[in-house]
Amino acid sequence: MTSQPTPTQAGNASGRPGEPGGGLQAGLKNRHLSMIAIGGVIGAGLFVGSSSGIATAGPGILLSYALVGTLVVLVMRMLGEMSAANPTSGSFSAHADRALGRWAGFSIGWLYWFFWVVVLAVEATAGAKILSGWVPAVPQWGWALIVMIVLTATNLVSVGSYGEFEFWFAGIKVVAIGAFIVVGALAVFGVLPGVHSDKASLGNLTGQGGFLPHGPGAILTGVLLVVFSFMGSEIATLAAGESEDPQRAVTKSTNSIIWRIAVFYLGSIFVVVSLLPWNDPSIKDKGSYVAALDSLGIAHAGQIMNVIVLTSVLSCLNSGLYTASRMAFSLGQRGDAPKAFARTTSRGVPMAAIVASVVFGFVAVFFNYKFPDSVFLFLVNSSGAVALFVWLVICFSQLRMRKIIQREAPEKLLVKMWLYPYLTWATAALIVFVLGYMLTDTEHDGRETVLLSLLVAAVVLVIAVVKERIAGNRTAAPTEAPADKVSVG
């Protein structure tokens, strides 16, 4: 087996960095990677989707977040082990390609690309709703178009411009949620100057029916509602391939994911359910974070949160376009996508991969406005379980890749999965359990999401197997022809 090419080798083999076709370039600085790693954990889903989880599980939603957070930490540890040993823009798809076979790298790579281009449409629409509320003279579809065009242009300039935009987007998210946690915690303990809240109390964690008002089963239901808000943690491993020191970047982001999840997810949700009773109507009506800010009497809380959510949406769009294009680039580089996807400009930008990703995103936006309850709903549901598929593939890839690395280059094991292989198998079993539990969920569309995602995955897998067999027949044909001639002669 051969190792994946380095960023400067990617693309046209004859090209050199700085020339058209010269491959990806190390245009991301350490500060970019640090903020991409932190911001990748904080998705717009944390701000928007947490209210439904709180309503379903009560304060026990903290256990749901802790369970999924633990799962993500373990999966990212596995991915960090493989990516630190072999940084590549294809990340887990490239690792699956080598560890499990071409069919695995092809399938999970295209499914991941599909997930992010659908996310582009979802986030563009969410951002457009906020912007049209501020400037109603521009129609909602117009704002969606403007947002997509601006961020596409940003990604087309250079990877450095993507990194700079994401640095500031992620920075705003981090500062905002950090301030929310500090202010909220001070209010909970009654030491926030000038603010007195009648509802803020640690008693909210056990009042109104107890910590688990709907029983222990609600923890698993909560898992289904929050699991997808964690997607994006893996972006740092894809971006590391275009950094100055890929191994250091991967190692640092992998080692820091525990505190990032603990602070930004568990910390902020803890503050929300402490500031307000879990069954307060305002949580569902206004959203959990807006309701929490309103309870403190902070003026214009709704608009403040709209700015933060818009920043998160733009960050997700920016990273989604980057991630989809780099996965398309890696697929093209490995012969699993059109060769044009693997070509880069003189600035190291895979233009064709970016354009193809954004075009599909534009089409999905169109479907969202024209057929929201049919075509677009299918796209969203059929990509919904991809996160769990990706994590499962990472588990199985790491089980085999560890042996390959130990055999070929043991000095590259800079990051090691804990309690290998037992914890890897346990993580895989937990992911399978979550998928199985989703099949029993009809109230929150869990069953439909899994079944449609499996349908799309099956189609992609069939294409992968057929493609691999055709490629195998082509390579076998030249060796068989001479043998036939000898036997005849």
- Provide CB contacts within 8 A for 73, sequence distance 6+: 257, 258, 261
In this predicted structure, what is the pLDDT of residue 67? 93
Phi, psi of 442, deg, nearest 5: -105, -20
Query: Is the overall model pTM greater than 0.85, yes or no?
Result: yes
**Per-position DSSP letters for 261-321, written without gaps between them:** HIIIIIIHHHHHHHHS-TT-HHHHHH-HHHHHHHHTT-TTHHHHHHHHHHHHHHHHHHHHH
Distance CA 432, CA 152 (A): 36
pLDDT in tens, the chain (489 residues): 334 433 333 334 334 444 565 577 777 887 888 788 777 667 667 777 788 889 889 999 999 999 999 999 999 999 999 998 888 878 899 999 999 999 999 999 999 999 999 888 888 888 888 899 899 999 888 998 899 998 899 889 888 888 898 889 888 888 988 999 999 999 888 887 766 667 788 999 998 889 999 998 889 888 888 887 888 888 888 888 788 788 888 888 888 888 888 888 899 999 999 999 999 998 988 888 888 888 888 878 888 888 888 888 888 888 889 999 999 999 999 999 999 999 988 888 899 999 999 999 889 888 888 888 888 888 888 888 898 999 999 999 999 999 999 999 999 998 899 999 999 999 999 999 999 998 988 887 888 999 999 999 999 999 999 988 887 777 666 554 444 443 333
> Cα-Cα-Cα-Cα dihedral of 363, 366, 367, 371, to 10°?
-160
Q: Residue 240 burial by CB count (10 A; 0-12/13-18/19+): exposed, middle or buried?
A: buried
CA-based R_g, the chain, Å: 23
In this predicted structure, what is the pLDDT of residue 404? 94
In this predicted structure, what is the pLDDT of residue 260? 84
Distance CA 217, CA 214 (A): 7
Do 272 and 278 form a contact (C-beta atoms < 8 A)? no
Do 47 and 289 form a contact (C-beta atoms < 8 A)? yes
In this predicted structure, what is the pLDDT of residue 301? 80
User: Tokens 């009654």 correspond to what residue?
Assistant: 190
Terminal-to-terminal C-alpha distance of the chain: 37
Note the Cα 109 to chain centre separation in Å. Answer: 13
Peptide bond into 421 cis (omega under 30): yes
Distance CA 189, CA 213 (A): 24
CATH number attached to the domain at 30-469:
1.20.1740.10
In this predicted structure, what is the pLDDT of residue 400? 95
SS3 415: coil
In this predicted structure, what is the pLDDT of residue 6? 39
Output the CA–CA distances (angstroms, integers) from residue 369 to 44, 142, 379, in the order listed.
21, 12, 13
Neighbours of 414 (CB within 10 A): 14
Give the pair of three-digit tokens for residue 290.
């807006």
Distance CA 432, CA 65 (A): 18
In this predicted structure, what is the pLDDT of residue 106? 95
Phi, psi of 161, deg, nearest 5: -70, -35
